[in-house]
Structure 1
């Protein structure tokens, strides 16, 4: 009975984490480029009561007697599926069609990766710098901040589907100016470590970043100007998952109540 208490307690803790994960998904349902997270579980160690067991006639059964000791969280995995494209009309809103990530230079000098393309032009000493909402410079295919000379007008800048910045010529036809937005891919995107502000950083589990322009990627992504990628969270699916998690939490709590009643009955036998 004491074993059942701890087993049910582990189930309640696991389902609470599941609800926390679902809550985070729902909280970020309108976050640009957010990817749905899923809690995954695994069983704990089993306690062997009997290595062999016999029936009423003393014949050995083909299986022993083992009792599970509960559940624990194995991982919280991000689902990097494509989100819907939302048209904004803003010149420096970019959405990625494919598996690539934008690269930005974080405040500590590391390179961060994001699917959120809500960028803006900021004025600096060297010209116009393409940056995210936090002021982190967006990087080009060479890993350098994208800085456009101030001789160009930001209102006339555009990009093509490969991320090349263009400026209209004398005939008002967009022409590349030699700057291209860098996109990176990973062998295992689920292994990326989340930091803050929708940024992730590479880890040993994700593998090193492959810059798409290097030709090391099989399929290149495309960039849509004037669009943002919505989150891939489906509210209906999350609500159903929350109901399932709540019911599992309730059942584990009832197991604790039943075990407590049985312990109380056993204790009353002494009286």
Structure 2
């Protein structure tokens, strides 16, 4: 009789645990990146009243006779099915389209989360504003190159950061010179260049036809002739530039504002001399003025690109993601965070879009994967299970009462 009582108690206790888990799922139905939990039951252990016997002669064998002694929690598992992305338009909100986790750190320890509701901190760090933990990834070097083989570190988007000016050192001239031009015909092409202080200047190349298939190029900066500089362009009889016969000299100019001397290599290799209108332009020059970081963008692979006031863009870093051999082994620590355990395996860190980690939805958040219809159904089933186990206890109590009454 006592076996049924204790079996009923185990049923009550464990159905209550299941109800607790269901309640927590429903409470987190709107929690960003929340992953629902699921309770599974298993029978506990058995009292063997009679063991099994093997067949002997003409007699068959007998099965064991066992009485179950209740049930227990088999597991409380985290279900990692993806939640639906919800568009927010916030450039620091991210949802993962895969199995990856964001990596955040308190400075001593790393944690993992599916909650991509981040913001820019006072120091420019990309942070989780609820905990202050910094988002980890890889920073680009001064050339904008990212090395994902290096350890991850806190990402920084330093609004107002200055990009130093760069003096022009290469200029590319493109276009066509009219092959029917008479000797002495002059055309010119101006462009804006920059000195080492970031000050802009107007550099003009002037082309004068000096012979058949031959042009002489001179230059001036801000209307002042570059003394002693000229180059000779020679074209083949099919109108294509002839580098072997041309003489191209570097342009050396000393600005009058205290900037370092300019040493510019002109490139005329894309020019032609064909019949038709003359059209000459400067397609490229590599100088630029000083600029400050005014905005940024993030790609689906997590690459953060800074937008500067001088019109240039530069890669600042890349968000890292982690995945695990057994994500179900991760330990929840609250605040939408997980940490590694002995059964999750170590974090496998890589960039978004690699190794099954998934790309990023930028400007969106992953919603909870809790299905209210399923949870309410499970709640009813759990309630009925609880009621049935309570009936076991009351019925067993009535049977015990009958035994007590036999003494009267």
Same fold (TM over 0.5): yes
Which of 340, 360, 373 is the aligned partner of 1:223? 360
Any residues of structure 2 matched to 1:110-125 within 5 Å, and which? Answer: 110-124=109-123
Contact kept in structure 2, 1:121 and 1:154, CA below 8 Å: no
Which of 125, 128, 132 is the aligned partner of 1:132? 128
Q: Structure 2 vs 1, CA of residues 155 and 239 (structure 1 numbering), >3 Å: closer, same or farther?
A: farther
Q: CA deviation at 1:172?
A: 5.8
State which drifts further: 136-145 or 191-200: 136-145
**Greater strand fraction, Structure 1 or Structure 2:** 2
Contact kept in structure 2, 1:52 and 1:60, CA below 8 Å: no
Partner of 1:56: none
Contact kept in structure 2, 1:8 and 1:253, CA below 8 Å: yes
> 1:29, 1:154 → 2: CA distance?
39
Which of 339, 342, 346 is the aligned partner of 1:204? 342
> 2:117, 2:293 → 1: CA distance?
15
Which of 160, 164, 173 is the aligned partner of 2:299? 160
What secondary structure does 1:123 align onto? coil
Contact kept in structure 1, 2:324 and 2:345, CA below 8 Å: yes
What secondary structure does 1:140 align onto? strand
> 1:6, 1:49 → 2: CA distance?
18
Contact kept in structure 2, 1:43 and 1:68, CA below 8 Å: yes
CA RMSD of aligned residues (A): 2.1
Which of 237, 241, 261 is the aligned partner of 2:398? 261
State which drifts further: 155-164 or 65-74: 155-164
Q: Structure 2 vs 1, CA of residues 60 and 8 (structure 1 numbering), >3 Å: closer, same or farther?
A: farther
Any residues of structure 2 matched to 1:36-55 within 5 Å, and which? Answer: 36-52=36-52
> 2:327, 2:24 → 1: CA distance?
19
Q: Structure 2 vs 1, CA of residues 248 and 156 (structure 1 numbering), >3 Å: closer, same or farther?
A: same
Bigger CA radius of gyration: 2
Contact kept in structure 1, 2:306 and 2:316, CA below 8 Å: no
What secondary structure does 2:121 align onto? strand
Q: CA deviation at 1:41?
A: 1.6
Q: CA deviation at 1:52?
A: 4.7
Establish whether residue 248 from structure 1 lines up as the match of residue 385 from structure 2.
yes
Contact kept in structure 1, 2:352 and 2:359, CA below 8 Å: no
Q: CA deviation at 1:111?
A: 0.1
Which of 127, 138, 160 is the aligned partner of 1:151? 160
Contact kept in structure 2, 1:164 and 1:176, CA below 8 Å: no
Contact kept in structure 1, 2:159 and 2:294, CA below 8 Å: no
Spell out, residue by residue over 1:184-220, the C-alpha distance to the aligned partner (whole angstroms, 9 max, x if none).
Answer: 01111110001021000011111000012399x6324
State which drifts further: 141-150 or 18-27: 141-150
Contact kept in structure 1, 2:293 and 2:309, CA below 8 Å: no
List runs of 5+ in structure 2 lacking aligned partners.
Answer: 54-58, 139-150, 162-291
> 1:176, 1:246 → 2: CA distance?
59
Q: TM-score, normalised by structure 2?
A: 0.60
Contact kept in structure 1, 2:296 and 2:304, CA below 8 Å: yes
List runs of 5+ in structure 1 lacking aligned partners.
Answer: 54-58
State which drifts further: 162-171 or 3-12: 162-171
Any residues of structure 2 matched to 1:18-57 within 5 Å, and which? Answer: 18-52=18-52
Contact kept in structure 1, 2:91 and 2:298, CA below 8 Å: no
Contact kept in structure 2, 1:11 and 1:249, CA below 8 Å: yes
Contact kept in structure 2, 1:166 and 1:176, CA below 8 Å: yes
